[in-house]
Amino acid sequence: MELSVQQVAQLLDGKVDGDGSQLVNRLEKIEEATEGSIAFLANPKYTEYLYSTKASAIIVKSDLELRSQITPALIRVEDPYSSFSKLLEEYQKMMAVEKTGIEQPSFQAKSSQTGENVYLGAFSYLGENVKIGKGSKIYPNCFIGDNVEIGEGTILHAGVKVYANCKIGNHCKLHSGVVIGSEGFGYAPQPDGTFKAIPQTGNVILHDYVDIGANTVIDCATMGSTIINQGVKVDNLVQIAHNVEIGKNTAIASQAGISGSAKIGENVMIGGQAGITGHLSIANKVIIGPQSGVPKTIKEQGIFTGTPIMDHRDFLRVSIALRRLPELINRVTQLEKKS
């Protein structure tokens, strides 16, 4: 990829401040950038690098004020992070090697159907009555069970496993090691202390534009469906249990766990290593901090942190009090000695 700074600005609906004719051919971090590259500044703590970076151009917020002269050209936009993401997306398209056709050896049941321009990688397996929409890509070593439906433009990276009867929408992206539709963790205690497995007869439904990170597992429902709604983004190493429903455009960070039958609202943000108890509900636009434990329903929008969770402002006050605890204990001990 080689574009002028002005061409990049046009792509991002930005305005050039400086020499727009110089060429850039790669994307780099502002603190490591070299001549001929383009970087971005979204986090204020990296502002100092504006004055030392060797990048040829930097994507910045439209109202950024400089305190001294700099060498790179600036591309001023409303949202530098989103603009740089868009540029990365375009760069990825330019650099990508388009995969097409059916590689061998692979297995495709006679009753399965694939649309136009579908790619099937080597050692992929398509079971009975599988349907795959046009333009989807199934990379090597993927397993697609019987009666699975996959929409258009969806990507399953190497080693994804999709159990029978699951449904995946259009333009989804599943990274390596993802398992969709494995049995939920359902066991009935017996009088003799053993456990009897409860049959898990449901499926998983992923709606359009869902991204699932590497080695994440989404269990099938005991009955009915585990549902991941449109636009949900799930990080690596997340566990989503049976009969969970996740609302539109919710984001879940790495190592979070959601127990069975929990209902998560729309535009919720769940931090890494958070744990959510089963059979509860979380309202729309709630933010749950990392390593938080959620044992009860959250009915209203807000930011919640801690184990068990509390309002984030209360959590900060408690944290300050905990830091003072050794001092307070010492003062009480001294007072007891005087009494």
Q: Known catalytic residues?
A: 242
Contacts of 116 (CB under 8 A, 6+ apart): 134, 135
Q: What counts of helices (H) and strands (E) characterise the chain?
A: 3, 40
**3-state SS class at 98:** coil
What would the two tokens of residue 143 be?
């397993």
Q: How far apart are CA 182 and CA 187, in angstroms?
A: 15
Q: What secondary structure does DSSP assign to 203-214, as a single string?
A: EEEE-TT-EE-T
By the 8 A CB rule, do 226 and 206 touch?
no
Q: How far apart are CA 239 and CA 91, in angstroms?
A: 32
- Please choose, from the candidates 27, 23, 18, 17, the residue with its C-alpha nearest in 3D space to the C-alpha of residue 5: 23
Count of CB atoms within 10 A of residue 241's CB?
22
- Please choose, from the candidates 236, 210, 237, the residue with its C-alpha nearest in 3D space to the C-alpha of residue 150: 210
First to last CA, the chain: 79
Task: Please give the backbone phi and psi of residue 197, each rounded to the nearest 5 degrees, phi first.
Answer: -65, 135
In sequence order, the β-bridge partners of residue 15 are: 76
Q: How far apart are CA 266 and CA 252, in angstroms?
A: 12
Q: How far apart are CA 170 and CA 101, in angstroms?
A: 19
What would the two tokens of residue 105 be?
């050896």
Q: How far apart are CA 207 and CA 149, in angstroms?
A: 11
